[in-house]
Amino acid sequence: ALKRAQEVYNERYTFNTMIAGVMEAMNALGEQNNAKVWTEGYWVLTSILEPIVPHVCWELSHTLFGGKNLGAQTVCEEVFEVDALTFGVSVNGKNRATIEVGVQESQETIIEIAKASVEKWIEGKEIVKAIVIPGKLVNLVIKG
């Protein structure tokens, strides 16, 4: 949410998108029970809202965090790096399994992992075509 808000504020200036980021953060916080997560969430929210309502955020920042979050915030890009991708595996269009593969895996490797995960549905049958939709789906078309 913080990264999205910074992009909006620094590049596009679309107010509605920034408010959507606040709602996204609030919805994510609503699912949490951990006090540390709530504290971090309030910190992120005051950082997001600071360009819009600086006087309110200044008060919140000084009351809750000793003024530590005012000013330019940096976003750690490493947090957003993905190590693995999740693919749905379907046989003749019917979802049969889910697999997780490394980001750098080749299409052939992904197909082999997909075949292994749905072996009971393709056993003894000829695979006519294997379709890979990057980052989403592997569909195996079988005959017989």
Give how far the C-alpha of residue 28 lies from the chain's centroid of Cα atoms, to the nearest Å.
12
Class of domain 84-143: alpha beta
User: Which candidate, 95, 114, 117, places its Cα nearest to that of 105?
Assistant: 114
Helix (H, G, I), strand (E, B) or coil at 121: helix
C-beta separation of 4 from 21 below 8 A: yes
Which stretches of the chain drop beneath a pLDDT of 50?
Answer: none
3-state percent breakdown (helix, strand, coil) of the chain, nearest 5? 50, 20, 25
pLDDT at 140: 95
User: Which candidate, 106, 88, 105, places its Cα nearest to that of 97?
Assistant: 88
C-beta separation of 23 from 50 below 8 A: no
pLDDT at 49: 79
Total-model pTM: 0.50
> What are the tokens at 82?
């993905």
Instruction: Give the start-to-end residue ranges of the domains of the chain.
Output: 2-79, 84-143
